[in-house]
């Protein structure tokens, strides 16, 4: 059975939710108030259900309208991306794969990976989505991205397929002249007197900073959650404290000597990173092929080819955590 509503009705619901009145929604869509009202009445007639509540101050969506609105946002966003993907293939013959990266908005690894992809599978291209940093799996489920790089442990959801990439050490990061710079490792006892910047673990369940370094016997001097890794990096360079990072995320600063890293605890601590796709993506889909290239890139680095080395670009070890 064909749907009763068209994309014009879905677009109107989005505009109504954002604008709060039929007139304003019509203006957003470039149609008259009369045309917007007619479109709304038509949608309600086709569904035999009220989609808005009308009042002297405007309109609000009913429960049915809210459900359609949530669907409309996902559907139209995905349709727009699909249209762009198809146009991209038509223009340059390559399939576009949208990549997301959890936690860190740092992309210094992109040039090395792009060069490797160009050589390994020139039929693919990729774009990055910043929204996936905070919602890597949600963005994957909603179709905002096709592949997400995620650290931690695989979930039990059958919606996703997890491909292990590498194991990366978590480290305490500081300026070279910091008082802890000479320490062989750091833990909660050494960090208790420090100003601790917690990006991003305050918002990652199971990986909060106290989970990583332990609860101190005395309260921490200062714990500050920062919105971006760059904010933490600038403060660390200025000698204002210590932060916890995956080592690959601060690879450029380690390479140029502006920051140094120390292991967490005498044995160190590593987290696994995964490339995650939707479970129903077929093996020959662009997203699956992109993951295959990503895994090859890691394997390429493991064999010691430095020119296109994943490890050189990221500092991530291919060896799994014991």
| Whole-number pLDDT of residue 234 | 92
Q: Are 239 and 188 members of one domain? A: yes
Q: Tell me which residue of 169, 209, 205 sits closest to 192, measured CA to CA.
A: 209
Q: Are 286 and 151 members of one domain? A: yes
Asked if residue 173 is part of any domain, the answer here is yes
**Based on the structure, what is the number of domains in the chain?**
3
| Whole-number pLDDT of residue 210 | 61
Both tokens of 57, joined, read 């101050």
CATH number for the domain that contains residue 112: 3.40.190.10
| Whole-number pLDDT of residue 310 | 38
Q: Are 257 and 109 members of one domain? A: no
Other beta carbons within 10 angstroms of residue 207's beta carbon come to 18
Looking up tokens 């006892």 gives 189
Q: What letters, b where the CB count within 10 A reaches 16 and e where it falls short, cover 1-22?
A: eeeebeeebbbbbbbbbebebb
Q: Are 204 and 222 members of one domain? A: yes
Q: Are 25 and 171 members of one domain? A: no
Both tokens of 209, joined, read 């900073």
pTM for the structure as a whole: 0.67
Among the candidates 74, 104, 119, a domain finishes at: 74
Rg (CA), the chain: 24
Give residue 309's domain range: 95-164+275-313
Q: Counting Cβ atoms within 10 Å, is residue 280 exposed (0-12), middle (13-18) or buried (19+)?
A: exposed
Both tokens of 96, joined, read 């576009």
- Phi (first) and psi of residue 195, to 5 degrees: -80, 115
Q: Are 257 and 174 members of one domain? A: yes
CA distance 181 to 178: 5
SS3 88: helix
pLDDT in tens, the chain (322 residues): 778 999 999 999 999 998 999 999 999 888 999 999 999 999 999 999 999 998 988 899 999 999 999 898 888 877 877 777 677 666 567 888 989 988 888 888 888 889 999 999 999 989 888 777 878 888 888 778 899 998 888 888 888 999 998 888 889 999 999 999 999 998 888 887 888 887 665 445 555 556 666 665 556 667 777 778 888 899 999 999 999 888 988 999 999 999 999 998 888 888 889 999 999 888 988 999 999 999 998 887 666 433 333 344 444 444 543 3
Q: Are 263 and 171 members of one domain? A: yes
CA end-to-end distance (rounded Å), the chain: 54
CA distance 310 to 116: 10
CATH number for the domain that contains residue 25: 1.10.10.10
Other beta carbons within 10 angstroms of residue 136's beta carbon come to 24
Q: Are 196 and 230 members of one domain? A: yes
Asked if residue 85 is part of any domain, the answer here is no
Both tokens of 195, joined, read 């100003």
Report pLDDT digits (tens) over 149-159: 988 888 888 88
SS3 258: coil
Q: Are 214 and 283 members of one domain? A: no
Q: Counting Cβ atoms within 10 Å, is residue 318 exposed (0-12), middle (13-18) or buried (19+)?
A: middle
Asked if residue 26 is part of any domain, the answer here is yes
| Whole-number pLDDT of residue 301 | 67
Q: Are 153 and 175 members of one domain? A: no
Q: Are 193 and 230 members of one domain? A: yes
Q: Are 266 and 287 members of one domain? A: no
Asked if residue 319 is part of any domain, the answer here is no
The DSSP secondary structure of 148-199, one letter per residue, reads EEEES---S-TTEEEEEEEEEEEEEEE-TTSTTTT-S-B-HHHHTTSEEE-T
| Whole-number pLDDT of residue 215 | 63
CA distance 291 to 305: 20
| Whole-number pLDDT of residue 23 | 92
Per DSSP bridges, beta strands 95-101 and 195-197 are unpaired
Per DSSP bridges, beta strands 260-263 and 160-174 are antiparallel
Q: Tell me which residue of 276, 305, 301 sits closest to 151, measured CA to CA.
A: 276
């Amino acid at each position: 059975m064909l749907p009763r509503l068209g994309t014009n009705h879905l677009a109107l619901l989005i505009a109504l939710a954002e604008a709060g009145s039929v007139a304003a929604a019509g203006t957003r869509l470039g149609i008259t108030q009369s045309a917007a009202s007619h479109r709304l009445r038509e949608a309600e007639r086709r569904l035999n259900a009220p989609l808005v509540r009308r009042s002297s101050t405007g309109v609000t969506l009913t429960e049915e309208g809210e459900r359609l609105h949530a669907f409309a946002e996902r559907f139209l966003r995905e349709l727009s991306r699909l249209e762009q993907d198809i146009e991209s293939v038509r223009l340059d013959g390559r399939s576009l794969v949208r990549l997301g990266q959890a936690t860190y908005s740092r992309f210094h690894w992109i040039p090395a990976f792009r060069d490797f992809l160009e050589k390994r599978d020139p039929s693919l291209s990729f774009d990055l989505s910043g929204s996936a940093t905070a919602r890597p799996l949600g963005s994957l489920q909603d179709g905002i991205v096709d592949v997400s790089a995620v650290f931690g442990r695989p979930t039990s959801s059958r919606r996703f397929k997890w491909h292990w990439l590498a194991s990366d050490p978590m480290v305490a990061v500081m300026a070279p002249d910091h008082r802890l710079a000479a320490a062989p490792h750091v833990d909660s006892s050494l960090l208790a007197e420090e100003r601790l910047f917690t990006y991003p673990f305050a918002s990652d369940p199971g990986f909060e900073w106290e989970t990583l370094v332990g609860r101190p016997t005395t309260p921490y001097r200062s714990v500050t959650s920062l919105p971006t890794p760059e904010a933490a990096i600038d403060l660390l360079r200025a000698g204002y404290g210590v932060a916890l990072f995956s080592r690959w995320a601060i690879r450029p600063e380690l390479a140029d000597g502006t920051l140094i890293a120390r292991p967490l605890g005498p044995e160190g601590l590593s987290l696994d990173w995964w490339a995650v796709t939707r479970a129903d993506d077929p093996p020959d889909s662009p997203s699956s092929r992109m993951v295959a290239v990503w895994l090859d890139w890691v394997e390429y680095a493991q064999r010691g080819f430095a020119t296109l080395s994943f490890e050189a670009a990221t500092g991530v070890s291919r060896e799994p955590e014991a």
